[in-house]
Amino acid sequence: MKQTRNTAQKKLIMELMRDNHTHPTADELYETARAHDAHISRGTVYRNLNQLDEASDLRKLPMPMGPDHFDCRLDNHYHFLCRSCLKVFDTELEYEDALNSVPQGLDGFITEWHRLILVGLCAECAKGMKN
């Protein structure tokens, strides 16, 4: 893996992520970072988020709809994506380690990890649909 510098911008992004459990998008994190450093660029935020993901300091969460989100929580867990507001939430579902074993019928394949994203309506959006 390529060595990356530990810049003030990267430190800021990591600090903002450690304090953020809302699974922000890169653009949302960029807006927050600009409040702390008016000179930080969108490209710097995107580049650093990708480097932090590659270094396993945070996780990029590719979504089936909408932009990628980022997670500071590194333990294995599942997520819920609201299809209306596109917010991402942690779930309380127990992580199924058994799904990381070699799937039957796939000779020669080795499963290393899996990701599950539930899609539906969050409580707030569901409440708005009932009105």
Spatial separation of the C-alpha atoms in residues 112 and 100, rounded to whole Å: 6
> What is the tens place of the pLDDT at every residue in 55-99?
999 999 999 999 999 999 999 999 999 999 999 999 999 999 888
Percent of the chain with pLDDT strictly greater than 90: 74
Mention every residue, 6+ apart, whose C-beta is less than 8 A from residue 87.
22, 23, 81, 122
For the CA atoms of 12, 14, 18, 21, the dihedral, rounded to the nearest 10 degrees, stands at 100
As a CATH number, domain 1-68 is: 1.10.10.10
Beta bridge partner(s), residue 59: 71
Domain boundaries, the chain: 1-68, 75-131
79-82 β-sheet, strand order: 88-90, 79-82, 117-120
Whether 75-131 and 1-68 are alike in CATH topology: the answer is: no
What pTM was computed for the model? 0.85
Note the pLDDT of residue 3.
52
**Continuous segment of H or E residues that includes residue 69:** strand 69-71
Q: What CATH topology corresponds to 75-131? A: Dna Ligase; domain 1 (3.30.1490)
Q: Which two tokens stand for residue 48?
A: 């650093």
Q: In the prediction, which pLDDT does 100 show?
A: 81
